[in-house]
Structure 1
């Protein structure tokens, strides 16, 4: 039963609700290939972010795009502050509920790419992981030590998020937030983010996702990942500076392919055509032998 999803929501005809434990997932699924591709959105977003990429990829693969716990139209009736590790476990439960044995390829944007790595460390490793502006840079340690303990209880309190979600859509804050990514999004795409942030649960989920990511802990384990890795970085990313990200990738993922292009943090929404080309290339080159077999 799809409730609360606007009629004009991207790819709504592929939406379904899946129950696992305390979570009522909103998942979009398309395609009928034996090869499964998982799409993971970033903090503050939802499955809508994949737009035409979702339907284009579904021509060759079975594509699964969930709203992560606390985001979009996925309802979390249990523990709200899920860390990266717990989110990876929840994804495994979703995969089992969908009766899918294995995600062959995982494409993640921003914190979704971080989650892809965390998930693959705990499950049968994906053939390919594509990270679009992966969020692999830690917030400064002083933030975790001094600011976060003070801020998180306030920000994640239901009263605070309810008030904020009432106010946000009426201020220029969402537009400012989108502008800060240095991505050119049209009015319709901006409106979708305003729709999401009217929901206190979405705001709460976004804050928790940011707060629950232990990047140093994840990077220490990443040498165990044997998946083919492609990281796409944009030089104008206002959220994750390319020079610092490049350094982390070179240090911890020396086997990864790194592609640098022009664009902002959400370039895959701003330029779907280029994003699709780069993703297809990564999937065909690495573990896409079903495409190249002669």
Structure 2
């Protein structure tokens, strides 16, 4: 167990730190299956977002959940603003450091789904990619309201983020941000985000993740993805409107499967059991198909 992780942090018993170049990764690994499943959180989140989903999936797969560079408990001592392609390369380096040859499947939430696609384009493609509310359209109003003002260079200075991270937990801003997802989280789950945003590095990492995502460039290449694609999208997502999102998915991907359900942007935290059912169903369907075709 890593020292700097709170004792009650989700799945902390599986936490380890791995240094790869300038990055000190916080990684959680559990399971004994030869089939490897990578979990990628979205902007401003961390591996904690997977909660019981991580534990349940690890009964069937070897599950790897990471805190992305600059997020959570992963320390980034190098280049802070990483593009999607650069982030994908850091994942490749981490995979090699973990002595894993191949991620059979990737489940990504929001910007984590976008990163999964970027990773697939640069590596041996996973058999399956599951995107939960993937951020494949330019971010809506919440972005302009909450985040854009912070993204200019003066503001991403470490001084400013240090002041802001000190301020944020004392204001209602994190609650407002969570409310804007249209997901109803328990006080305990809200507190985890407050813990994360007390860190200036986490705040900086979140902003850099948004700033470095060139969605149009990624989408122009997505027809080359041969992985089986399942996108689970929610009707009430306050961050990524479902209608334009589904239009993009149908236009830019080959044979994607879209599952529409009720819920907000963080539905997998709000109803873990439901999210797990959809994830397992997509994964086992892929395996059945794989066995059938072999």
Q: TM-score, normalization: structure 1?
A: 0.94
1:248 maps to 248
1:105-164 superposed Cα distances (whole Å, 9 cap, x missing partner): 000000000000000000000000000000000248xx99xx969943133110110000
Q: How does 1:224-243 map to 2 (within 5 A)?
A: 224-243=224-243
The answer as to 2:231 corresponding to 1:269 is: no
Unaligned runs of 5+ in 2: none
Tell whether the 8 Å contact from 2:150 to 2:156 is kept in structure 1 after alignment: no
Tell whether the 8 Å contact from 2:36 to 2:102 is kept in structure 1 after alignment: yes
**In 2, distance between residues paired with 1:150 and 1:55?**
36
2:206 maps to 206
1:7-41 superposed Cα distances (whole Å, 9 cap, x missing partner): 00000000000110000000000000000000000
2:178 maps to 178
Q: How far off is 1:253 after superposition?
A: 1.6
Tell whether the 8 Å contact from 2:46 to 2:72 is kept in structure 1 after alignment: yes
2:20 maps to 20
Q: How far off is 1:289 after superposition?
A: 5.4
**In 2, distance between residues paired with 1:288 and 1:72?**
36
SS in 2 for 1:196: helix
**In 2, distance between residues paired with 1:216 and 1:229?**
19
1:170-221 superposed Cα distances (whole Å, 9 cap, x missing partner): 1111111000000010000000000000000000000000000000000000
Tell whether the 8 Å contact from 1:155 to 1:207 is kept in structure 2 after alignment: no
C-alpha spacing 1:76/1:150, structure 2 compared with 1 (3 Å) = closer
Tell whether the 8 Å contact from 2:139 to 2:239 is kept in structure 1 after alignment: no
SS in 2 for 1:176: helix
Tell whether the 8 Å contact from 1:152 to 1:211 is kept in structure 2 after alignment: no
2:282 maps to 282
- Structure 1: 4+ residue segments shifted above 2 A: 147-152, 287-293
1:94 maps to 94
**In 1, distance between residues paired with 2:30 and 2:292?**
23
SS in 2 for 1:231: strand
2:52 maps to 52
Q: How does 1:109-188 map to 2 (within 5 A)?
A: 109-139=109-139, 151-188=151-188
Q: C-alpha root-mean-square deviation of aligned residues, in Å?
A: 1.9
C-alpha spacing 1:150/1:62, structure 2 compared with 1 (3 Å) = closer
Aligned length: 289
**In 2, distance between residues paired with 1:249 and 1:67?**
26
Q: TM-score, normalization: structure 2?
A: 0.94
Tell whether the 8 Å contact from 1:284 to 1:292 is kept in structure 2 after alignment: no
2:196 maps to 196
Deviates more, 1:247-256 or 1:217-226: 247-256
Tell whether the 8 Å contact from 1:110 to 1:133 is kept in structure 2 after alignment: yes
2:80 maps to 80
Q: How far off is 1:288 after superposition?
A: 4.8
